[in-house]
Amino acid sequence: MTPEQAEAKSSSTLAAVYRFLGGAALGTFLMVILMSYGTSMPWSLAQVGVLSLPVVGFGVLAVVWGQQFIDAVMQTLNNAGF
């Protein structure tokens, strides 16, 4: 593997990590919005697990679909009035 190929692979991996973190941040933001409308009650492990599924899902979808997914989520949040 040439140094150029190694650098390209490294930069694409780093870009995928950044896209995952961006999608996970959007998922976290959405979960915080939804939780703010609910009642305050003690957290259980099951609730944390259920709330982490959309966060991880948003991260994976951001890696797979990239900027198009992030733009679609931001447009949806904008149209919803958040």
The answer to whether residue 10 is domain-embedded is no
Domain count, the chain: 1
Residue 14 lies in a domain: no
21: Cβ–Cβ under 8 A, 6 or more apart, which residues? 59
Q: Is 54 domain-assigned?
A: yes
Question: What tens digit of pLDDT does each residue of 4-22 get?
Answer: 665 566 778 899 999 999 8
Cα separation, 59 vs 66, in Å, equals: 10
Tokens 């959007």 belong to residue: 26
Report if residue 78 sits inside a domain: yes
Domain range enclosing 63: 42-82
pLDDT of the chain along its 82 residues, tens only?
Answer: 566 665 566 778 899 999 999 889 988 988 888 888 876 777 788 888 888 999 999 899 999 998 888 888 889 888 987 6
Does a structural domain hold residue 2? no
Tell me the helices (H) and strands (E) count for the chain, helix number first: 3, 0
In a domain, 9, yes or no: no
pTM of the predicted model, to two decimals?
0.73
Intra-chain end-to-end CA distance of the chain, in Å: 47
